[in-house]
Chain A
Amino acid sequence: KQEVTQIPAALSVPEGENLVLNCSFTDSAIYNLQWFRQDPGKGLTSLLLIQSSQREQTSGRLNASLDKSSGRSTLYIAASQPGDSATYLCAVRDNDMRFGAGTRLTVKP
């Protein structure tokens, strides 16, 4: 059974900092890995999708990498802004879609 872990559980940084969120998974036989953000009480917004054959994906200030063999993904956020404050979740797709518990990010002005 796939287990997904996200570290750290919470992170607080001043505006403008670059930061890295980590996601690890136990079974490397995946189709893809997807990063989402969730604002309090809301649904999830898709940020980036990395196919199992890819190493990284970029969208604006976001860059996600995937090392399938070691069961790890990172989400890099450049020049963080207060609007980036949210919970960030990674999801691994194999026979279904399993989530980590998320990293709660606070960017202080």
Chain B
Amino acid sequence: EAGVTQSPTHLIKTRGQQATLRCSPISGHTSVYWYQQALGLGLQFLLWYDEGEERNRGNFPPRFSGRQFPNYSSELNVNALELEDSALYLCASSTPLGNTEAFFGQGTRLTVV
């Protein structure tokens, strides 16, 4: 069974541009979580989607947004990129019931120059 897949693996963008990151959850999982991990720092919660709806978001500006598609895959969009947006972006998938493990993808390394 395929795990959580994220694409692209690496992404280099110029300040002010937009970045789109993608996440495909494990089959049967309807919840997708997004996190930002800046170099040497912990995981900061960005967004939680379930059944196509945004369920919760962390303390990030509105230029961080996303969506979840009918097949439960998800996109994270970052507009007006800033240098400090450079980080590893991780997504995890799970069932929404809270009684199953969450599994992570390998992440997208975003570099803003």
Contacts and interface: CB of A to CB of B under 8 A. Distances in A.
B60 to A, nearest CB: 13
A89 B102 CA distance: 13
Interface residues of A: mostly helix, strand, loop or mixed? Answer: strand
Given A31-B98, A97-B92, A42 B107 contact: yes
Interface in B68-113: 88, 90, 92, 94, 97-107, 109
Nearest to A32: B98
Contacts of A100: 42
Nearest to B37: A38
Q: Which of the four size classes fits the interface of chain B?
A: 20 to 34
A96 B101 contact: no
Contacts of A78: none
Nearest to A95: B56
B45 A93 contact: no
Interface of B: 33, 35, 41-43, 45, 48, 55-56, 88, 90, 92, 94, 97-107, 109
Interface of A: 31-32, 34, 36, 41-46, 49, 51, 89, 91, 93-102
